[in-house]
């Protein structure tokens, strides 16, 4: 039995939490509807007040009419008494008694209705003030909610942008690494090709000045420092005679 009570309490608790969560998520909508309901109730109260005021004014008019009848019948009763017609005077007096009794009944009713009007008018005024204050508070809460939603959106967007920038930076790093790997592959392939063709060995011999037809910088300096100052530089195929023969057209000077 205790277990069933606990399960029942758990179900009621979960239902309460779910209902509270829904109410919190729609708090502004609920408040707006409650304000509209309160405004509708205020409008009904004003209609009731207007109806009460109209009835009170009708009673006042009836009381005024009774007062006019009283004045009229009092004058008639005096005239009948002056004439000595006491029977007629008594009939008029009975009518006056009815009028005065009716007036005595209506007078406190009018006073009560006036008091009720003042009380209802004060309640309506207080209700209007509370509704207006609540409406302003709801507007402030709604504005804060909008600002906070915008801030949350900006924060979420910033987080997404930061994540995107991080992903882009990682991609760029990987691209650079692939490019470096390609460059190393190209360099290694070129070195292997030079080794296959002997170009790397020729380059080493050329740098050492051991390749035929080449001279190193040290060889040139040594030649220039020799006793004869070095031999003049001759182009391949040139002879010692600088004057071309007339028989060879290729050796004739250009005009």
Full pLDDT tens readout for the chain, 255 residues: 566 665 666 566 656 555 566 655 677 788 888 888 888 999 999 999 999 999 999 999 999 999 999 999 889 889 989 988 899 889 989 999 999 999 899 999 999 999 999 999 999 999 999 989 888 888 888 888 788 778 777 776 666 666 666 676 777 777 878 888 878 887 787 777 666 666 666 666 666 665 565 556 666 677 777 765 555 555 444 444 444 444 444 444 444
Q: Is residue 229 part of a domain?
A: no
pTM to 2 decimals? 0.49
Q: b or e along 210-236 (b: 16 or more beta carbons within 10 Å of the residue's beta carbon)?
A: eeeeeeeeeeeeeeeeeeeeeeeeeee
Total structural domains in the chain?
1
Contact (Cβ atoms closer than 8 angstroms) between residue 70 and residue 110: no
Q: Is residue 239 part of a domain?
A: no
Tokens of 100: 């005065």
As a whole number of Å, the end-to-end CA separation of the chain is 131
pLDDT at residue 59 in the model: 93
Q: Is residue 84 part of a domain?
A: yes
- Give the Cα separation of 95 and 231 in Å (integer): 168
Q: Is residue 24 part of a domain?
A: yes
Exposure b/e, 133-150, CB count within 10 A at least 16 = b: eeeeebeeeeeeeeeeee
Q: How many residues does the chain have?
A: 255
Q: What is the pLDDT of residue 21?
A: 62
Residue 71 host element (H or E): helix 27-83
| Assigned domain for 88 exists | yes
What are the pLDDT digits (tens) for 180-201? 887 888 778 777 766 666 666 6
Structural domain harbouring 146: 7-172
Query: Is 230 part of any domain?
Result: no
Residue 50 lies in a domain: yes
Inside any domain, residue 255: no
**Given this model, what pLDDT does residue 145 score?**
79
Given a contact cutoff of 8 angstroms between Cβ atoms, the answer to whether 233 and 215 are in contact is no
The predicted structure's pLDDT at residue 153 = 74
CATH number for the domain including 157? 1.10.287
């Amino acid at each position: 039995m205790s277990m069933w009570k606990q399960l029942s309490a758990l179900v009621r608790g979960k239902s309460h939490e779910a209902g509270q969560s829904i109410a919190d998520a729609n708090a502004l909508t609920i408040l707006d509807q409650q304000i509209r309901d309160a405004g509708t109730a205020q409008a009904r109260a004003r209609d009731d007040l207007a109806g009460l005021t109209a009835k009170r004014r009708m009673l006042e008019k009836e009381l005024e009419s009774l007062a006019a009848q009283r004045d009229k019948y009092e004058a008639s009763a005096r005239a009948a008494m002056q004439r000595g017609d006491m029977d007629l005077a008594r009939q008029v007096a009975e009518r006056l008694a009815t009028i005065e009794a009716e007036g005595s009944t209506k007078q406190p009713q009018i006073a009560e209705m006036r008091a009720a009007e003042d009380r209802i008018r004060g309640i309506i005024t207080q209700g209007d003030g509370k509704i207006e204050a609540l409406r302003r508070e709801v507007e402030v809460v709604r504005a804060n909610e909008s600002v906070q939603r915008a801030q949350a959106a900006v924060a979420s967007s910033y987080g997404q942008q930061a994540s995107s920038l991080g992903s882009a930076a990682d991609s760029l790093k990987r691209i650079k690494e692939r490019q470096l790997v390609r460059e190393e592959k190209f360099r290694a392939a070129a070195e292997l090709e030079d080794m296959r063709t002997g170009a790397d060995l020729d380059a080493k011999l050329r740098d050492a000045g051991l390749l035929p037809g080449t001279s190193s910088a040290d060889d040139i300096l040594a030649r220039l420092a020799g006793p004869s100052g070095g031999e003049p530089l001759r182009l391949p195929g040139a002879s010692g005679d600088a004057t071309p023969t007339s028989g060879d057209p290729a050796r004739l000077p250009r005009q």
